[in-house]
Amino acid sequence: MALKLEMLRVFQTVAEHGSLSAAAAKLGRTPSAVSMMLAQVEDHIGDRLFETDRKNRLTPFGLLVLEESRRANDAFARSTEAIRRHAMSTAGSIRIAAVPSATVTLLPDVVANFRMHRPDVRLEISDVDTESVIRRVQYDEADIGIISADSGNRHNGEVVLTDDLGIVCHKDMPIAHAWAAGQQDDWDILNLEPFIANPLCRLVTAPCVQNLLMDCNLEARNTTALLAFVRSRIGATILPKSALWSEPSILFLRPNNHPAKRQLIKIHTPDKKLSPVARQFWDQLQSR
């Protein structure tokens, strides 16, 4: 008979409780059944595990087997728990594809609130550009998508956040000085510094911005990276006001000409019904 994990579990229980009766009560078996299994273990390994029939003192070899039994049973317990958690989360998982600015400005509060009530649900969040979000939702690679768009293009979704777009620059750079001095208050002020492009810039209709996009040789799609570049005085960019949390060195300037707003819109495949947990998350993405 091959040595089995259950045999090691029974042996470990007896060794740790010091008697057949106590171990049998713990295992929910009769003392005779436990004794029979211990005999099978000793027959299999070819040596005694206990010094006496009372099972209250291990042999030196028994101490070694106990150590290995604990390792094997602990590893099995960890694996079983991992499988259980995976099975639970797979049964209740949500795939979310969102534009980078949404992962910074919108999702943290929603995710924190959702996990308070549904910690058992697995959330898979990826940040990609709007076109990629739409494609993932269409091809069933994401249950819920969050995209950026202007007010005239909602992609059959629901608006969850509307905020102003403006110039984001370092407070010690030329744009900030010119703005403070009242020299300029429009999008043309972007010509004073190197321009860092990102997909949101295309929502601004000002001719200056469109020209800068054509000539720009630096583009980033991640909000964290954009702010890091501005903070390092590499240049200025365009972002929604909500993208700035506590950034004492960075300013948000809203030009008076060609006002631009960005909307975050939640989408899902119209002909596919959301799972119950995905519907819960969808409902928490409320307009603000």
Nearest partner of 5 among 107, 104, 80, judged by Cα: 80
Dihedral pair phi/psi, residue 267, rounded to 5°: -135, 155
**Residue 84 maps to which CATH number?**
1.10.10.10
114 with 229, same domain: the answer is no
**Predicted pLDDT of residue 84:** 66
* Percent of the chain surpassing pLDDT 90: 40
Contacts of 82 (CB under 8 A, 6+ apart): none
Q: Does residue 218 sit in helix, strand or coil?
A: coil
Query: What's the burial of 59, exposed, middle or buried (CB within 10 Å: 0-12/13-18/19+)?
Result: middle
271 with 138, same domain: the answer is yes
Give mean pLDDT, residues 16-29: 89
Which residue range forms the structural domain that includes residue 135?
93-159+266-284
**Predicted pLDDT of residue 105:** 82
134 with 203, same domain: the answer is no
Query: Which parts of 136-280 are beta strand (E)?
Result: 144-149, 158-170, 237-240, 250-253, 261-267
Q: Which residue has the tokens 């999702």?
A: 107
Mean pLDDT of all residues belonging to the chain: 87
**CA distance linking residue 286 with residue 132, whole number of Å:** 23
253 with 270, same domain: the answer is no
**Residue 164 maps to which CATH number?**
3.40.190.10
154 with 183, same domain: the answer is no
**CA distance linking residue 211 with residue 217, whole number of Å:** 12
230-259: pLDDT as tens digits: 999 999 999 988 888 667 899 999 998 899
166 with 229, same domain: the answer is yes
Give mean pLDDT, residues 179-201: 93
Nearest partner of 214 among 201, 223, 224, judged by Cα: 201
- Please, are residues 262 and 239 in contact by the beta-carbon 8 Å criterion? no
Position 224, amino acid: T
**Predicted pLDDT of residue 78:** 78
Residue 180 has pLDDT above 90, yes or no: yes
Residue 91 has pLDDT above 80, yes or no: no
**Predicted pLDDT of residue 253:** 96
Q: Which of 33, 68, 90 is the C-terminal boundary of a domain?
A: 90
168 with 255, same domain: the answer is yes
64-81: pLDDT as tens digits: 998 999 999 888 887 887
**CA distance linking residue 42 with residue 103, whole number of Å:** 59
Quickly count: other Cβ atoms within 10 Å of residue 234's Cβ. 17
117 with 246, same domain: the answer is no
245 with 210, same domain: the answer is yes
Q: Does residue 240 sit in helix, strand or coil?
A: strand
**CA distance linking residue 101 with residue 96, whole number of Å:** 14
Dihedral pair phi/psi, residue 144, rounded to 5°: -130, 140
DSSP string, 74-133: HHHHHHHHHHHHHHHHHHTEEEEEE-HHHHHHTHHHHHHHHHHH-TTSEEEEEE--HHHH
62 with 154, same domain: the answer is no
24 with 149, same domain: the answer is no
Residue 275 is classified by DSSP as: P
Domains: count for the chain? 3
55: left (phi over 0), alpha (psi -120 to 50) or beta: left
Q: Does residue 164 sit in helix, strand or coil?
A: strand
At 287, the pLDDT band (50, 70, 90 cuts) reads low
Query: Which parts of the chain are beta strand (E)?
Result: 93-98, 122-127, 144-149, 158-170, 237-240, 250-253, 261-267
184 with 253, same domain: the answer is yes
93-117: pLDDT as tens digits: 889 999 888 888 889 999 999 999 8
**Predicted pLDDT of residue 148:** 85
